[in-house]
């Protein structure tokens, strides 16, 4: 099984952390490739970062698809570019947030998402609504923790996140926690031990679901909105992204 995981931002250390988290749950026979774009934002915090991250990320999806990937995982909790990635891929493409939401809905009655900055809340809430899982989510909370601080101040980050999880369990009626950033992957087990409720890391959830879809031989439907893009010449800096007939 050939599994491709793409970090849509350009921070190499975060890509390495995602790879480490993925290896913890990937099946032994999985040949795993973890990539990041050559250009784009160093972190994805809001609509603008997400928009600029998509072209470079799609280039990595196309490369991996051409190399024969059996499944792809987009390792950003905004599920950045997920629909576009599915349109250019025959192999299944799993977003880590969608995967985490589905797993949380199977492990508890209501879950709270604890993410980084407040500007990410509308994106996550819109995705929950689109996935039909908004009623299972008690609340989306922001820890006001910049993404890159997860690496530069891990102790401080853990303290802030722990505080929000504690509030979620007391105030939201949540019995399950979803960590709302790929950079939080290493903290899931620590918070499970501390709070004794399921704490779901999207990277692990995404890898688990992607490998299952690959084993089942599933492919992305091309009968509707995920049909391959029509061939047309793009111009300027986007000329290399022109859909090939």
pLDDT of the residue at 154: 77
Task: Note whether 147 and 118 are within 8 A (CB).
Answer: no
CA 115 – CA 127 distance, rounded (Å): 14
CA 155 – CA 186 distance, rounded (Å): 12
Q: What is the pLDDT of residues 131-176, one digit of tens each?
A: 999 999 999 999 887 777 777 677 888 888 999 999 999 999 999 9
Scanning the structure block, which residue is given the tokens 């300027």?
A: 236
Give domain 2-95+205-241's CATH number out of 3.40.50.12500, 3.20.20.450, 2.30.130.40, 2.30.30.220: 3.40.50.12500
> Using the 8-state DSSP alphabet, how is residue 29 labeled?
T
Tokens of 188: 């899931």
CA 197 – CA 2 distance, rounded (Å): 32
**Residue spans per domain, the chain:** 2-95+205-241, 97-202
Tokens of 85: 């990635």
> Using the 8-state DSSP alphabet, how is residue 238 labeled?
G
Tokens of 7: 């970090």
* Inter-helix orientation angle 154-171/188-195, to 10°: 40
Scanning the structure block, which residue is given the tokens 């988290």?
A: 21
The two domains 2-95+205-241 and 97-202 share their CATH topology (first three levels equal) = yes
Q: What is the pLDDT of residues 15-64, one digit of tens each?
A: 999 999 999 999 999 999 999 999 999 999 999 999 999 999 999 999 99
For 97-202, CATH gives 3.40.50.12500
Distance of CA 62 to the CA centre of its chain: 18
pLDDT of the residue at 183: 82
CA 106 – CA 119 distance, rounded (Å): 28
3-state helix, strand, coil in the chain (%, to 5): 50, 15, 35
Q: What is the pLDDT of residues 88-114, one digit of tens each?
A: 999 999 999 999 999 999 999 999 999
Contacting residues for 147 by C-beta, under 8 A, at least 6 apart: 9, 14, 43, 44, 45, 116, 117, 181, 183
């Amino acid at each position: 099984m050939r599994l491709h995981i793409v970090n849509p931002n350009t921070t190499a250390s975060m890509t390495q952390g995602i790879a480490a988290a993925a290896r913890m749950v990937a099946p032994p026979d999985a040949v795993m490739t973890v990539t990041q774009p050559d250009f784009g934002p160093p972190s994805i915090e809001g609509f603008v970062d997400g928009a600029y991250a998509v072209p470079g990320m799609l280039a990595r999806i196309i490369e991996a698809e051409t190399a024969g990937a059996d499944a792809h995982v987009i390792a950003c909790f905004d599920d950045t570019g997920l629909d576009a990635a599915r349109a250019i891929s025959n192999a299944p493409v799993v977003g880590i947030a969608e995967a985490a939401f589905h797993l949380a809905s199977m492990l508890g009655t209501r879950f709270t998402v604890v993410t980084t900055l407040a500007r990410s809340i509308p994106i996550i809430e819109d995705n929950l609504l689109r996935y039909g899982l908004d009623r299972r989510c008690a609340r989306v909370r922001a820890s006001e923790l910049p993404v890159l601080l997860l690496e530069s101040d891990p102790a401080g980050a853990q303290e802030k996140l722990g505080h929000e999880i504690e509030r979620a369990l007391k105030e939201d009626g949540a019995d399950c926690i979803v960590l709302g950033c790929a950079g939080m992957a290493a903290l899931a087990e620590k918070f499970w031990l501390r709070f004794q409720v399921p704490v779901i890391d999207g990277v692990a959830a995404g890898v688990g679901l992607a490998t299952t879809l690959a084993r089942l031989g599933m492919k992305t439907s091309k009968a509707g909105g995920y049909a391959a893009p029509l061939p047309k010449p793009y111009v300027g800096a986007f000329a290399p992204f022109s859909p090939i007939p």
